[in-house]
Amino acid sequence: MKKPEDLIPHRAPFLFVDEIVLLEPGKKATARWHLKGDEWFFSGHFPGRPTLPGVLMCEAIAQTGALAIVSDERFAGKLPLFGGLDGARFRRQVVPGDVLEMTTDLVRLSGRAGKGNGIATVNGETACECELLFVVVD
């Protein structure tokens, strides 16, 4: 299976997908983010109680969706961008040592835009869920 950086342009420190678990081009992707604890955001969020910021969980879900989009030959070489984020809910804290597993299902996909539903879990427990709107640009 390909690496995330083979498909999407994100790079450290803003690549939040380490491993692709499942890839159904144009339909669905599942990926993992292994949080070691030395990531840049943990030192300030929060000192003494490091917690993954919720907005970064949403970004990780979006990057997972981007994998499903750009792996579809219709979108090879294009860039999916956030168009909106709806219904984000945070259900549990994510801390150093956790493995965040993100799944994004694309529920609508046209030549220029789409919609996806995403969920991020730790050990099967929901950490975050959201609905993504995106546009695809050259």
From the candidates 32, 45, 78, 92, which is the catalytic residue? 45
DSSP string, 65-122: HHHHHHTSGGGTT-EEEEEEEEEEEE-S---TT-EEEEEEEEEEE-SSEEEEEEEEEE
Q: Give the separation between CA 104 and CA 64, rounded to whole angstroms.
A: 6
26 CB-near residues (< 8 Å, 6+ apart): 68, 69, 71, 72, 74, 75, 106, 109
- Whether 45 is a known active-site residue: answer yes
Q: Which residues are catalytic?
A: 45
